[in-house]
């Protein structure tokens, strides 16, 4: 099985009638996602991508029992959109927008934790359970990379995700669920928070994390392994290995601050608890083989 989403997840789309919303909603539907409704204020009664459109999330949830929300709205409207979904009982929300104000990101995360909800993003391409469902902006051609299988993947990156996942598939594996947590300093959810679900999933044999310099998400993964909260094999690839201290990369969250967050420190900590760390993307597949072979 997958974690978070599958073909039975009932997804509503906020901002469905916009250019991006309608384009990616059609892609999601074509990849098996169960799109039950859309939300655009002032456009109730219309159809978009075969889904009925409502003024509000509450109306859509009442009519269609939606249990997940895909948010396609500009950054300045994301906070309101997420709060509307949380207030309507939605407990899985994916938001792609890049450039959400930091203080609003913090409010979103606090509200998600208080509601026992999962908010993925912003600054992400979303999540996918290959062959079942996708929430986000992962295009058709990606089906050549995202083959169904038994490896969970979590990532802070975008383009690197495709490259590393291609190496996983080339090694003979496939993907159970891929989660793009996003590259912002305060994402809605963090790597370690998904580890218990991957641990409990009997169709996930190992997990790959695609991290980068800055922040502490990778260190939190190491702590989960050390405490015994995650026991399956874990392989990681961390970008930014040669970046000097103070370097900011493409993501707002990828910056070394206060002497912490370097790839070298993350690598040492992960390896100290038994995780394997690839120095190059092409090594991920062989490290997975070694880790699973050792476990068996």
Whether residue 290 sits in one domain with residue 150 = yes
Mean of the per-residue pLDDT values of the chain:
91
How many domains would you assign to the chain? 2
Provide the percentage of residues in the chain whose pLDDT is more than 70: 91
86 falls within a domain: yes
Contacts of 279 (CB under 8 A, 6+ apart): 241
Instruction: Report the C-alpha gap between 280 and 65 in whole angstroms.
Output: 44
Residue 241 binned pLDDT confidence (cut-offs 50, 70, 90) = low
Q: Would you say residue 43 lies in a domain?
A: yes
Residue 139 lies in a domain: no
Could you tell me if 203 and 283 lie in one domain? yes
283 assigned to some structural domain = yes
Range of the domain at 119: 1-123
Same domain, yes or no, for 118 and 217?
A: no
Within this chain, do residues 149 and 296 fall inside the same structural domain, yes or no? Answer: yes
Determine, yes or no, domain membership for 205: yes
Give the pLDDT of residue 109.
97
pLDDT tens column, 120-169: 999 999 999 999 999 999 876 666 788 999 999 999 987 789 999 999 99
Q: Is 140 inside any structural domain?
A: no
Q: pLDDT band for 259, please (50, 70, 90 cuts).
A: very low
Q: Do residues 107 and 50 both lie within one domain?
A: yes
251 carries an active-site annotation: yes
Residue 25 within a domain: yes
**From 27, 64, 103, 251, the catalytic residue:** 251
Mean pLDDT over residues 54-75, rounded? Answer: 97
**pTM, 2 dp:** 0.91
Question: 70 φ, ψ to 5°?
Answer: -105, 125
Q: What is the CATH number of the domain that holds 106?
A: 3.40.50.720
Sort 237 into a burial class: Cβ within 10 Å, 0-12 / 13-18 / 19+: buried
- CA Rg value for the chain: 19
Question: What three-state secondary structure class fits 264?
Answer: helix
* One domain, residues 294 and 209: yes
Q: What is the CATH number of the domain that holds 250?
A: 3.40.50.261
| Triad 133, 138, 139: Cα angle to 5° | 105
For residue 134, is it within any domain? no
């Amino acid at each position: 099985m997958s974690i978070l989403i599958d073909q039975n997840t009932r997804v509503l789309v906020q901002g469905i009638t916009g250019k991006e919303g309608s384009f990616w909603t059609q892609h999601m539907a074509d990849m098996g996602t169960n799109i039950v409704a859309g939300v655009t204020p002032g456009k109730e009664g219309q159809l978009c991508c075969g889904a009925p459109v409502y003024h509000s999330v509450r109306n859509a949830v009442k009519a269609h029992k939606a249990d997940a929300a895909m948010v396609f709205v500009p950054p300045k409207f994301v906070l309101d959109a997420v709060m509307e979904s949380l207030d309507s009982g939605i407990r899985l929300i994916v938001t792609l927008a890049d450039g959400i104000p930091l203080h609003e990101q913090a409010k979103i995360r606090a509200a998600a934790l208080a509601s026992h909800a999962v908010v993925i993003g912003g600054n992400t391409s979303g999540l996918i359970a290959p062959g079942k469902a996708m929430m986000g902006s992962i295009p058709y051609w990606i089906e050549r990379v995202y083959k169904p299988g038994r490896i969970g993947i979590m990532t802070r990156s975008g383009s690197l995700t495709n490259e590393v996942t291609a190496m996983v598939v080339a090694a003979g594996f496939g993907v159970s669920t891929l989660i793009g947590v996003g590259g912002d300093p305060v994402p809605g959810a963090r790597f370690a928070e998904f580890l218990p679900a991957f641990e409990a999933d009997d169709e996930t044999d190992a997990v790959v994390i695609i991290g980068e310099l800055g922040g502490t998400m990778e260190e939190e993964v190491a702590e989960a392994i050390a405490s015994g909260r995650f026991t399956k094999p874990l392989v990681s690839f961390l970008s930014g290995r040669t970046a000097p201290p103070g370097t900011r990369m493409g993501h707002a969250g990828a910056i070394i601050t206060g002497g912490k967050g370097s790839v070298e420190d993350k690598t040492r900590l992960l390896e100290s608890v038994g995780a394997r760390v690839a120095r190059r993307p092409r090594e991920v597949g062989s490290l997975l083989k070694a880790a699973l072979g050792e476990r068996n």
